[in-house]
Homo-oligomer: A and B are copies of this chain.
Amino acid sequence: MRMQEDEDRSVGVEDNIDKSFLISVPDNSNLVGETKIDTHRTKVQWKRKSVVTLSLTILTSSQAILIVWSKRAGKYEYSVTTANFLVETLKCAISLLALARLWNKQGVTDDNRLTTTLNEVIVYPIPAVLYLIKNLLQYYIFAYVDAPGYQILKNFNIISTGVLYRIILKKRLSEIQWAAFILLTAGCTTAQLNSNSDHVLQTPFQGWVMAIVMALLSGFAGVYTEAIIKKRPSRDINVQNFWLYIFGMGFNAVAILVQDFDAVMNKGFFHGYSFVTVLMIFNHALSGIAVSMVMKYADNIVKVYSTSVAMILTAIVSVFLFGFHLSLAFFLGTIVVSVAIYLHSAGKIQR
């Protein structure tokens, strides 16, 4: 959590950027002093946004590479539920550590104290519940779609995130940015095309419906998390993370009891854990925190672009690590995704 140290605590969240940006328009010479401070603020915010986005991209990409690595090393032998539980526990522990440093430096304030109200905390389990429903549906969709087909259909997530971001957070994208978002979806899908991709066009109606419902659930969970985190801009992100992850621990403890109770009792909690497993748990924990940071200091749109770039990075790195071949479709998809990123920034609404 080194990022946290760079942070200028007097700076608000994204929503406040716009206001301070408006003030910083140099139309009044009396405001020169204030303008300087605002320019500094904007720079700090821009730097922080870039650092969290870059971290998320690198962590997501290395996550995918670790998955390929662990699959090459053999089947998953450890229980996934215990690993998920450990990820949530690690995230909780990291948040608490960051908070301890903060308390040491600044003392306990209204914004960084851990105690909370029911009113604040009641919404925190909702994203976890949404993801749970989505993961349950995931078992059923494979009756209609194969795994590579599901990989293709998952790109609906991009569009659903954009639409729900617009509806729920009421933030506007310019027409050029919408075009960029459509291109991002098409580009990511193109990059993933292979000789079997056309099978997905034979997906039965129920498969399409489930894919769309899952994309909506996943998009809603992401946008809802952003809404929760942004609702209290001055609240410290580590407190918000702590409460998000404590519910995550709870849900995953239940999952161990329901799915893997016997296995854990007979073979032990850490049965089948290897070095790669431990790396994966650390990586998942750090990416989870990076996602929260992106929600706090950037938004879901940035998150979607970041994970798309991670997908492309993963493929390129895999060429060197695992001798993968890149297809023509991958190159074309990468060109489209790159243009989409350019257009997203070129199409920024002028305020």
Q: Which residues of A contact B (CB under 8 A)?
A: 152, 175-176, 179, 182-183, 186-187, 189-190, 193, 195, 197-198, 200-201, 327-329, 332-333, 335-336, 339, 342-343, 346
What are 16 sample pairs from A and B whose C-beta atoms fall under 8 A apart?
A152-B328, A176-B176, A176-B343, A176-B346, A179-B343, A179-B346, A183-B183, A186-B335, A190-B190, A190-B329, A193-B329, A193-B332, A198-B328, A200-B328, A201-B328, A329-B329
Minimum distance in angstroms from A178 CB to a CB of chain B: 10
Which of A152, A175, A339 has the most chain B CB within a 10 Å cutoff? A339
User: Chain B residues with Cβ under 8 A from A200's Cβ?
Assistant: 328
User: Chain B residues with Cβ under 8 A from A193's Cβ?
Assistant: 193, 328-329, 332
Once A198-B328, A201-B328, A329-B329 are accepted as A-B contacts, the answer to whether A339 and B183 lie under 8 Å apart by CB is: yes
User: Chain B residues with Cβ under 8 A from A190's Cβ?
Assistant: 190, 329, 332-333, 336
Minimum distance in angstroms from A324 CB to a CB of chain B: 13
Minimum distance in angstroms from A158 CB to a CB of chain B: 13
Minimum distance in angstroms from A177 CB to a CB of chain B: 11
User: Chain B residues with Cβ under 8 A from A175's Cβ?
Assistant: 346
**A333 to B343 Cα, complex, angstroms:** 18
User: Chain B residues with Cβ under 8 A from A333's Cβ?
Assistant: 190
**A341 to B195 Cα, complex, angstroms:** 28
Partner of A328, one of B176, B197, B336, B343: B197
Once A176-B346, A343-B343 are accepted as A-B contacts, the answer to whether A332 and B186 lie under 8 Å apart by CB is: yes
**A252 to B335 Cα, complex, angstroms:** 41
**A193 to B198 Cα, complex, angstroms:** 12
**A183 to B327 Cα, complex, angstroms:** 18
User: Chain B residues with Cβ under 8 A from A186's Cβ?
Assistant: 332, 335-336, 339
User: Chain B residues with Cβ under 8 A from A187's Cβ?
Assistant: 336
Partner of A336, one of B176, B329, B336, B346: B336
A179 touches B327 (CB 8 A): no
Minimum distance in angstroms from A236 CB to a CB of chain B: 40
Minimum distance in angstroms from A306 CB to a CB of chain B: 21
**A333 to B332 Cα, complex, angstroms:** 10
Minimum distance in angstroms from A115 CB to a CB of chain B: 50
**A315 to B161 Cα, complex, angstroms:** 32
User: Chain B residues with Cβ under 8 A from A179's Cβ?
Assistant: 339, 342-343, 346
B332 touches A189 (CB 8 A): yes
Closest to A335 in B: B186
Minimum distance in angstroms from A188 CB to a CB of chain B: 10
**A195 to B336 Cα, complex, angstroms:** 20
**A200 to B343 Cα, complex, angstroms:** 29
Contacts A183-B336, A189-B332, A197-B329 aside, 16 further interface pairs with beta carbons under 8 A come to A152-B328, A176-B176, A176-B346, A179-B342, A183-B339, A186-B332, A186-B336, A190-B190, A190-B329, A190-B333, A193-B193, A193-B328, A195-B195, A197-B328, A198-B328, A200-B328
